[in-house]
Amino acid sequence: MSETNLNRLYLAKIYLSALRNEIAFDIDAYRAVKKTPEKFGYIPRFSVIWPRIANKPLFLSSITANFLNLIWKRGLYIPFFVIQYLSLRASTSDSITTEPDQELHILLSALAPQLIAGVEGADPPAFTAPWQRYPCGVPHDKRVSLECALSRSDLRCCLIDAIAIARRITKRRTQFRQWHLQTYTLFRWICVARALEKMACSRMVMANHYDRWAILIDRLGGRIGRSVTIVQHGVEEVRHLPTKLRFVDTLYVFNQKEELLFKEFILASPAKERVAVRFFNNTIELSEVEDTRDRVVVVLVGHPEYDAVQLKFLSIARNERPDVLFIYKAHPTARGVNPVIAGMTEKWDKEGLFPKGDFIFSYHSTLAYQYREAGISTYIHESNLSDEEILKIISMIPK
């Protein structure tokens, strides 16, 4: 493998640049619930973890998180990486070959397969990761999984690099040392970097916007001269990103508003000046809800991060409007539905179809804006709502 493209020093540089974005979002998640990273050991993905611990003794959660942070920095990451290495090694051989192709669809998120295939077709090969769930499947006929692109010797190099970079982070007194638990993705991230470097192609298409995968693909494209395309998969927020994309040259977005947000907050100056922007159809296929008995239908577009506010809404709305049928449309990447929410609603489970409601209650999601474009009254809520605000929202539900 060439030492001129993705050597260990360069990988560390990209990874730390990507972590700046991840850390910025985690800091926002802590602020949203009025907690501090210090109290919970700088644990990552706090927006996902918080709903699971909010109703439990917080001092126990705090002690557990800080202890985990401590032993992780003391070396727990080494056996963690080794376990991941052994899992990948079991399905990898030393006779790996990859066929060159003009373009490669990189599927590193659950929604990427359908989004990318929808605008780019499904003929090019698709790069998949064995740990990523694809709840709606992968429409591409030709798939190249990560373990088909790396040999066992490649995996050993990835493991050594991951341990060396993680160890180096612990020795430097920077914000990365505090947030060392963020390195739980480091070994897999390096494996993806090495695999993509080995796969000969001239164009890479992804559905990641600003996370560690997006930064990796963007910088890899710039390093070895590959074209980089983004297909938008979610609604963008107005916020500052420490690390922006530099080498994206094609951008598929929902509308001109999203184009402006991408150029302002996600793309660096050189990229936003040369990027080619294309708009694509973002409509959804609505399906009638069966057996409504002529009741008003309210659809909740759910995500575990917003369980608390949606539970609060349901508790008040069910009392105020007993005539309403509440349908819960879970996020496709969610591993389950909050049991209390499940007891208050009917779960929608028709793949590829979306319930046609009279009113939509949703967090800031792509689906909420798709419902609006379909002409259905939609309220997009924040992470916290007062009782008065909820009563006002309920008054918007049709009679």
Q: Which of 69-83, 165-179, 363-377 has the lowest mean pLDDT?
A: 363-377
Closest C-alpha to 324, from 351, 344, 354: 344
Pairing of strands 286-287, 276-279: unpaired
Calpha distance 54→346 (Å, rounded): 24
Q: At 184, list the tokens.
A: 């739980």
The pLDDT assigned to 6 comes to 82
Q: Which of 110-114, 232-236, 261-265, 377-381 has the lowest mean pLDDT?
A: 232-236
Q: Are 233 and 112 in contact (CB under 8 A)?
A: yes
Calpha distance 366→259 (Å, rounded): 14
Calpha distance 75→285 (Å, rounded): 49
| Residues, the chain | 399
Q: 286-394 has which CATH code?
A: 3.40.50.720
The pLDDT assigned to 2 comes to 41
Q: At 225, list the tokens.
A: 């001269």
* Positive/negative CA dihedral, 147, 151, 153, 157: negative
Instruction: List Cα–Cα distances, 339 to 50, 53, 157, 377, in angstroms.
Output: 16, 15, 44, 27
pLDDT in tens, 339-394: 889 899 998 988 778 999 999 999 888 888 889 888 899 999 987 889 999 999 99
Closest C-alpha to 298, from 333, 342, 330, 329: 329
Residue 95 confidence class, pLDDT cut points 50, 70, 90: low
Calpha distance 272→277 (Å, rounded): 10
Instruction: List Cα–Cα distances, 312 to 86, 227, 385, in angstroms.
Output: 44, 46, 8
Calpha distance 2→34 (Å, rounded): 47
Q: Which residues, including other chains, have CB under 8 Å from residue 256's CB and lie 6 or more apart?
A: 279
pLDDT in tens, 270-321: 999 999 999 987 777 889 888 888 899 999 998 887 888 899 999 999 999 9
- How many Cα atoms within 13 Å fall on the side-chain side of residue 276? 5
Q: At 373, list the tokens.
A: 């474009």
The pLDDT assigned to 331 comes to 82
Residue 293 is classified by DSSP as T
For 309, the 3-state DSSP assignment is helix
pLDDT in tens, 123-143: 999 999 999 988 888 999 999
Residue 245 confidence class, pLDDT cut points 50, 70, 90: very high
Parse the chain into domains and list their residue ranges.
1-93+150-198, 99-148+201-281, 286-394
Is the pLDDT confidence value at 93 over 60? yes
Calpha distance 34→200 (Å, rounded): 47
Q: At 80, list the tokens.
A: 């963690």
